[in-house]
Amino acid sequence: MSVNNNHITIIPGYNLSIGITIFYISFIILLPLISMSITTSHMTLTQFTAVIFDKRVLASFQISIICSLTAAVINCFFGTILACILVYYKFPGRTIIDSMIELPFAIPTAVAGISLAALYSPNGYIGKIAATWGLYPAYSKAGITIALIFVTIPFVVRTIEPVLQNIDPAFKEAAFTLGAGQFTVIRKIIFPEIFPTLLLSGGLAFARAMGEYGNVIFIAGNMPYKTEIVPLLIMIKLEQFNYPQATSIAIVMLLLSFIVMFILNSLQIYYQKIITGGKN
């Protein structure tokens, strides 16, 4: 392991810092995961697969993945637009909008869930309008997706913002002087710069959405095979005092999120290499 000691760091020494890092990650992240695995290890492989391939569990995985993916994709699109507006334009009320982006992080999820359910149910303000068009967002997959969009928006905006800020305006100016239109600049300069980060933020949003519970259960309706999400199923197993089954579902969920994050991270590194011309 070679350590680059050429630049002066403010951190007191490499050995100490890496020690702290490894300790912290082990203690805070790895330890709970290991304890989860130990709980599951009381089961045989047959029992484990029986839990995971149960029709109802598979259905809930399908629902969770579809809704989380949809929410992540929609957020990647609108989140980028939001980030662009916040970075490129100065307008009255910008700081207010800027501080509102983080609210979904700060609000207790149950509170947000109850208000969303009230808003989108056929008697709520939005639900009423939707009902006249024959749309019923509450107690459906649409409702779940809405709740997930709400909770994951900060991830996308906050990861894209710094990248946009760091794009050298000279590039854009050069492009404009060479006669490129607005759209070409976005397509050829801005988008390639933010694309790797967008992948990462989408992955973060997806992983977070997969695990979201409090926000969703109020608007989902929780009908088996239709609107039952994986975290609720885990809760159900716990309510039946069935720890091994609950943790085995949780582990599969974790693996899924990890795989998605891993793929997106690899893609990000790959694109980063292209952008920086093989350096890094």
Partner 1 sequence: MNKNIILLLFFLVFLTIAIYTIEQQHKHIELINVSYDSTRELYKQYNEAFSIYWKNKTGQVINIIQSHGGSSSQARSVIEGNDADVVTLASAYDISVIASHQLINDNWVSRLPQQSTPYTSTVIFLVREGNPKSIHSWHDLIKKHIHIITANPKTSGGGRWNYLAAWAYAYKTYNGNEFFIENFMQQLFANVLTLDSSVRSATTSFVENNQGDVLISWENEAHLITKKYPGKFEIISPAISILAQLPVALVDKTTTYKNIHTIAEAYLKYLYSPTGQKIAAENFYRPANKLILQNIPIFLTYRWIL
User: Can you give the binding site for partner 1, defined by CB under 8 A?
Assistant: 114, 117-118, 121-124, 139, 217-218, 221-224, 232, 235-236, 238-241
Cα of 10 vs its chain's centroid, Å: 32
Rg (CA), the chain: 22
Residue listed under structure tokens 């929780």: 222
Residues 6+ apart with CB under 8 A from 158: 101, 102
Distance of closest approach, residue 30 Cβ to partner 1, in angstroms:
21
Identify which of 77, 44, 21 has the alpha carbon closest to the alpha carbon of residue 201: 77
Distance of closest approach, residue 53 Cβ to partner 1, in angstroms:
19
Coil, strand, or helix at residue 255?
A: helix
Distance of closest approach, residue 66 Cβ to partner 1, in angstroms:
20
Closest CB to partner 1 among residues 43, 238: 238
Closest CB to partner 1 among residues 180, 238: 238
Rounded-to-integer distance, Cα 104 and Cα 242, Å: 32
Closest CB to partner 1 among residues 17, 123: 123
Distance of closest approach, residue 38 Cβ to partner 1, in angstroms:
15
Is residue 146 within 8 A of residue 137, CB to CB? The reply is yes
Distance of closest approach, residue 238 Cβ to partner 1, in angstroms:
7
Distance of closest approach, residue 72 Cβ to partner 1, in angstroms:
25
Closest CB to partner 1 among residues 220, 264: 220
Closest CB to partner 1 among residues 18, 111: 111
Closest CB to partner 1 among residues 56, 188: 56
C-alpha distances in Å from residue 103, one per residue of 49, 154, 158:
39, 8, 12
Is residue 237 within 8 A of residue 245, CB to CB? The reply is yes
Identify which of 25, 59, 78 has the alpha carbon closest to the alpha carbon of residue 224: 59
